[in-house]
A and B are shown apart, each in its own frame.
Chain A
């Protein structure tokens, strides 16, 4: 390989607390601008921050989830810079004493092997507000609803070698934070955002100069952005250029990246310990209390899917990677009493529909329980697999559960022998040539000829004929003619 890519990720994850990290304002997404910003969030004079203990607990839980060292003593610092959506003129964050120390996240590569990505640390901090540039003539609007939302920033070591690994790592992290319930992981709402540090080098060389692309909010954008940036860097170097250390922006919609600021333009943030907040000290008892309330991690869930539900390694890995998907699957499997079928449906139809609708599983129009209900009707032969897909479409479109769709559309599979015999007789009568051909075919090859009758029979039954029953009747009737 001629070039080697070195990637490190910084991942911002919004914590699922009800209130902000330093104030009592709600963190709910989507409210009218500035309706969820109190005097503290507005940085009114004389106001003071108080740490939200729940944010702390969730950060500790994350640390336990990646097998990290938890700092017994940590404190907040001020990162000073002026920007309209940073109301205090500084962001309260952690630098010298992050709550989560070194840990690791293990990813599965395409060849089935495992790679451990080291986590340098994860720290707690507050989110900024938002600047709104549209709709204000010649001015900008500021929405401080998001200001003070608790974040953990997870900083990886540069252990990632390509975009596939980066995506696998990001998905794994997503699975961990959603499984632990410490974040909703909703990337469309900015609950999880990625900054990607990229450099290239010849194998054996020292690390190349890196660039940082900020605020990528989907796996796809991250994958595309990495590919683009690696290509840009290699092209530049091969054409005799030099990589400039800079911060870049990538527009996922247009697929265009540009430089935002160079290292020389970077701020001196003048970090210093925040004098309004005392250092937070925790002990083993606290850590163990958090550990005892931890929900199941994706790795444990995967193991359980294999041992208890009999799924393949691949299916178990896929289904456990996302907490909402895993719960959806488990519901479906429990309702259907069939893990394998449920797995196929979740990874097949459900996943395909999510992709084409471009929504996440949490926004799916059906529940795992509803899917399970559909599978039950396949298993008890009420409907065929083929009809089941039509029922699924209708369910997805919000037309109700499987039974009401089957009922409303009259899709119940016809297994009634009398009715089926009539249809078969009708088709055989209309297909004399095919019947002759069947009779004249060698016995060992006759089975293949059966398929020719199935199409017209299913058509005549409007797809509702139970294929197995049709098969039996057809065989019986044809054999009578021999």
Chain B
């Protein structure tokens, strides 16, 4: 059962090949037995999962139900779950149980999906290797000496290890796509505003976007269809009809115009990764797409601009964690200043503290113009690069990450090297565009990903292209070696 895609599971549930309860118990058993190898779950919710599965079975018995009804999934621990601890990978929220659901959690529950538990992640989604989690690093199922990527490392590892058929994740600078690349998965970051941010604990509000991690583009289309909704509780959520993303998966790629930015094949890129990516692009050409080189001239400014804007926003977003109302509070505070300083110093990890300090600095009097305002100007230029490019192409293609998964500790003491992990993904967040990573081969027996970037609200087009590629390739069907 655990080798099936969501599309296949939905079929099996309807043909009574297995019940949701059987399926759920099977996944719970796998998690119980195998997750100690990966550390992908922070919280497992078996009782709730079985209750949801039984309810789903009843629904399925009564006839027509949403496609995800009875399908087990797991949520990144950044999404608030009513009555279930939501830690965001931090000691700060180790004791925090929200009294509300994130909108996407609500959407999946309404569709009848079963929640297996909450997935590990870099603390407050700050990291590209899942090494910053308070709950310990997540291991890459392809090679447990290697990182799964981050920040949605738990989501990626769980799906790659077949501990869940799909997982929710979030992407502020590449946190869905880079782990997808490193774990051989299909990871979609939708257009900013496509998916509600309500109940998703904010890292950088203008960049954060939830999306699914799945094994196939078809599953991604199914997951996005339920995840996306207009939500009046999120002012930045856009009121756009949610199409049936599965309906257009079969469209021909004849005439698809692909742009390959020369800046995405720069010196930092592993040559073998580059070669897999170029092979993949050739496959699209074989299917009738046209390919041309393009330029996104401000690409080199994306990482510096991002590392001003994201920390600036996080410095304010994380101010609410002050030890006053919920979350961690230090022992015996001497006074108010001591309460603030020790609660925050004791409960935030090093990377989180680094970004808060960087952000506060970038916003401070005398530096605002040089950093924050300048970064916003750069952001507009980066967006303009894409707007110009999309005048005569449909999809941008290039690598997702610079190399396959790296070993633990390889970059954790070098923040800049770690930040460069997201060099190809960050611009998409700054521009608010949708981006998709799909597996396109192995390097050193570890997966690498092809990134597809589309115009605003072109998720259907990206998923269509990815699905057509997956119809003629089998990289997405390759599983991590240890999976039984």
B 188-209 binary contact with A (CB < 8 Å = 1; else 0)? 0000000001111110111000
Q: Does A475 have its Cβ within 8 Å of any Cβ on chain B? A: no
Complex-state Cα separation, A50 to B233, whole angstroms: 6
Of the candidate stretches B139-147, B313-321, B409-417, the one touching chain A is: B313-321
**B232 CB contacts on chain A under 8 angstroms:** 50
Contact present for A268 and B364 (CB under 8 Å): yes
Residues of A within 8 A of B233 (CB): 48, 50
Partner of A45 from B93, B315, B336, B363 at Cβ < 8 Å: B93
* B363: chain A residues within 8 A (beta carbon): 80, 270-272
Q: Is A277 an interface residue (CB 8 A)?
A: yes
Contact A46 B202 (CB under 8 A): yes
Tell me how far the C-beta of B274 lies from the nearest C-beta in chain A, rounded to whole angstroms. 35
Establish whether residues B322 and A82, one from each chain, have CB atoms under 8 Å apart when the complex forms. Answer: yes
Task: Report B-chain residues with C-beta under 8 Å of the C-beta of A49.
Answer: 235
Which of A142, A270, A275 makes the CB contact (< 8 A) with B206?
A275
Most buried by A among B93, B199, B236, B316: B316
**A90 part of interface (Cβ distance < 8 Å):** yes
- CB pair B319–A90 under 8 Å, yes or no, is yes
State whether the Cβ of B80 lies closer than 8 Å to any Cβ in chain A.
yes
Return A9 CB to nearest CB of chain B, in Å. Answer: 25
Nearest CB in chain A to that of B98: its residue:
A44
A45 and B320 contacting across the interface, CB-CB below 8 Å: yes
User: Whole-angstrom distance between the alpha carbons of A159 and B96 in the complex?
Assistant: 52
Per DSSP, are chain A's interface residues mostly helix, strand or loop, or mixed?
loop
What string of 1s and 0s marks CB contacts (under 8 Å) between A47-81 and chain B? 11111000000000000000000000000001010
Closest B residue, CB atoms, query A51: B235
Q: Are A80 and B316 interface neighbours, CB within 8 A?
A: yes
- In the bound complex, do residue A90 and residue B93 qualify as a contact, i.e. CB atoms below 8 Å apart? no
Report the nearest A residue to B238, measured CB to CB: A278
B263-275 near A? 1/0 per residue, CB < 8 Å: 0000000000000
Is B88 located at the chain interface by the 8 A CB criterion? Answer: yes
- Chain A residues with Cβ below 8 Å from B175 are none
Closest B residue by C-beta to A79: B316
**Contact between A50 and B235 (Cβ–Cβ < 8 Å)?**
yes
Known: A82-B340, A87-B325. A272 touches B319 (CB 8 A): no
B18: which A residues are within 8 A, CB to CB?
none
Mark each residue of chain B from 297 to 326: 1 if its CB lies under 8 Å from any CB of chain A, else 0. 000000000000000110110111110111
B442 is an interface residue with CB less than 8 A from chain A? no
Chain A minimum-CB-distance residue to B325: A42
One digit per residue, 1 when the CB lies within 8 angstroms of any chain B CB and 0 when it does not, for chain A 243-256 equals 00000000000000
Nearest residue (CB) in B for A42 is B325
Set B96, B235, B319: member contacting A88, Cβ < 8 A? B319
B86 contacts the other chain (CB 8 A): yes
- CB-nearest residue of chain B relative to A90? B316
Q: Assign chain A's interface to a size class.
A: 20 to 34
Q: Tell me if A89 and B320 are in contact (CB < 8 A).
A: yes
Which residues of B, 183-240, contact A by the 8 Å Cβ criterion?
A: 197-202, 204-206, 232-236
B197: chain A residues within 8 A (beta carbon): 46, 48
Given contacts A87-B325, A272-B312, A278-B235, contact A45 B80 (CB under 8 A): yes
Contact of B235 among A47, A48, A271 (CB under 8 A): A48
Q: Looking at the assembled complex, report how far the CB atom of B43 sits from the nearest CB atom of chain A, in whole angstroms.
A: 16
Chain A's closest residue to B340 (CB) is A82
Q: Is A43 an interface position by the 8 A CB rule?
A: yes
Q: Which of B92-135 contact A (CB under 8 A)?
A: 93, 96, 98-100, 102
Please tell me which one of the listed residues B102, B236, B321, B324 contacts residue A142 in the complex, with CB atoms under 8 A apart. B324
Q: How far is the CA of A142 from the CA of B99 in the complex (A)?
A: 20
**Do the beta carbons of B235 and A277 come within 8 Å of each other?**
yes
User: Is there contact, CB below 8 Å, between A89 and B364?
Assistant: no
- Taking a contact as CB atoms under 8 Å apart, the answer to whether A89 and B98 are in contact is no
B360 located at the interface, meaning its Cβ lies under 8 Å from any Cβ of chain A in the complex = yes
Looking across the interface, which residue of chain B has its beta carbon closest to that of A81? B319
- Inter-chain contacts of B372 with A (CB < 8 A): 272
Q: For A268, give the chain B residue with the smallest CB separation.
A: B365
A44, A48, A88, A271: which has the most chain B beta carbons within 10 Å? Answer: A48
Question: Given A84-B336, A268-B365, A276-B236: A46 and B200 within 8 A (CB)?
Answer: yes
| Contact of A43 (CB < 8 Å), options: B199, B236, B325 | B325
CA distance A44 to B97 in the complex (A): 10
- Say whether A439 faces chain B, with CB atoms less than 8 Å apart: no
A46: B residues at CB distance < 8 A: 79-80, 86, 98, 100, 102, 197-202
Whether A289 sits at the interface, judged by CB under 8 Å, is no
Q: Does A39 contact B (CB under 8 A)?
A: yes
List residues of chain A with CB within 8 A of the CB of B100.
39, 44, 46-47
Which of A82, A88, A275, A278 has its CB near the most chain B CB atoms (within 10 A)? A275
Q: Considering residues A78, A82, A87, A270, which has the most beta carbons from chain B within 10 angstroms of its beta carbon? A: A270
- The verdict on A275 contacting B98 (CB below 8 Å), with A80-B316, A87-B325, A89-B320 known, is no
Instruction: Judge whether A89 and B312 touch: CB under 8 Å.
Output: no
In the assembly, what is the distance between CA of A45 and CA of B319, in Å? Answer: 11
Most B-side CB within 10 Å, residue of A45, A47, A51, A90: A45
B319 touches A82 (CB 8 A): yes
Q: Closest Cβ of chain B: how far from A90's Cβ, in Å?
A: 5
Shortest Cβ distance from B79 into A: residue? A46
CA distance A130 to B112 in the complex (A): 43
226-279 of chain A: CB within 8 A of chain B: 268, 270-272, 275-278
CB-defined contacts of A278 to chain B, threshold 8 Å: 235-236
CB distance from B187 to the nearest CB of A (A): 21
A43-B325, A46-B98, A48-B234 given; A89·B319 CB < 8 A? yes
Q: How far is the CA of A356 from the CA of B139 in the complex (A)?
A: 76
Binary flags per residue of B432-454, CB closer than 8 Å to A gives 1, else 0: 00000000000000000000000
- A45-B98, A84-B324 are known contacts. Are A276 and B93 too (CB-CB below 8 A)? no
Q: Which residue of A is nearest B198, CB measured? A: A48
Closest-by-CB residue of A relative to B80 is A46
CA separation between A50 and B232, bound complex, in Å? 8
Tell me the bound Cα distance from A164 to B434 in angstroms: 61
Distance in Å from the Cβ of B63 to the closest Cβ of chain A? Answer: 35
CB–CB B340/A78 < 8 A: no
Known: A50-B232, A270-B364. A45 touches B201 (CB 8 A): yes
For residue A87, give the distance in angstroms from its CB to the closest CB of chain B: 6
Q: Which of A156-177 contact B (CB under 8 A)?
A: none
With both chains docked as a complex, state the minimum distance between the C-beta of A86 and any C-beta of chain B, in angstroms. 9
Task: Give the residues in chain B near A88, CB-CB below 8 Å.
Answer: 316, 319-320
Q: Which of A43, A47, A142 contacts B198 (CB 8 A)?
A: A47
Q: In angstroms, how far is the closest chain A Cβ from the Cβ of B451?
A: 25
Taking A45-B96, A46-B102 as given, write out 19 further A-B residue pairs in contact, using a Cβ cutoff of 8 Å, ordered by the A residue number: A43-B320, A44-B99, A45-B86, A45-B201, A45-B202, A46-B100, A46-B197, A48-B235, A49-B235, A80-B315, A80-B319, A80-B363, A82-B322, A84-B322, A87-B324, A88-B320, A89-B320, A272-B368, A276-B202
B residues apposed to A, CB below 8 Å? 79-80, 86, 88, 93, 96, 98-100, 102, 197-202, 204-206, 232-236, 312-313, 315-316, 318-322, 324-326, 336, 340, 360, 363-365, 368, 372
Task: Enumerate 5 A-B pairs (CB-CB under 8 Å) in ascending A order.
Answer: A46-B79, A46-B80, A80-B360, A272-B316, A275-B204
Which 10 pairs across A and B sit closest by C-beta, in order of nearness?
A89-B319, A275-B205, A275-B206, A270-B363, A43-B320, A46-B199, A45-B201, A46-B80, A268-B365, A46-B201
